[in-house]
């Protein structure tokens, strides 16, 4: 049970960090609007934000929704966005 409770925060930090990096890359290389959107969405994955949302707003985002959102974001980034085209050219 202890490994289970440790896994979620680590994955949250990892996914949040990766989405934040994609947001910074979009901000610098593509356009500020998708960059800011990615940065705001990355906050959903960070454990301190989850604690804040649950404690003060009574709002909890299900893990399944977070996984689906992460998959959609990564597919969009690599498949449709201008950042994906820039990565393909390298």
Where exactly are the structural domains of the chain?
Answer: 2-89
pTM of this structure: 0.79
Cα separations in angstroms, 82 against 60, 63, 69, 70, 71: 32, 28, 19, 18, 18
DSSP 8-state class, residue 61: -
Distance from C-alpha of 40 to C-alpha of 38, rounded to nearest angstrom? 5
Phi-psi region of 61 (alpha: psi -120 to 50; beta: other; left: phi over 0): beta
Residues 13-72: tens digit of each pLDDT: 999 999 999 899 888 888 888 889 999 999 999 989 988 988 998 888 888 998 899 888
């Amino acid at each position: 049970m202890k490994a289970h409770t440790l896994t979620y925060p680590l994955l949250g930090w990892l996914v949040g960090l990766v989405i934040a990096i994609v947001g910074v890359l979009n901000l610098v290389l593509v356009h500020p609007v998708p960059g800011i959107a990615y940065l705001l969405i990355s906050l959903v994955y960070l454990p301190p934000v989850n604690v804040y949302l649950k404690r003060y707003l009574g709002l909890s985002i299900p893990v399944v929704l977070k996984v689906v959102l992460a998959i959609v974001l990564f597919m969009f980034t690599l498949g449709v966005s201008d950042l994906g085209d820039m990565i393909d050219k390298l």
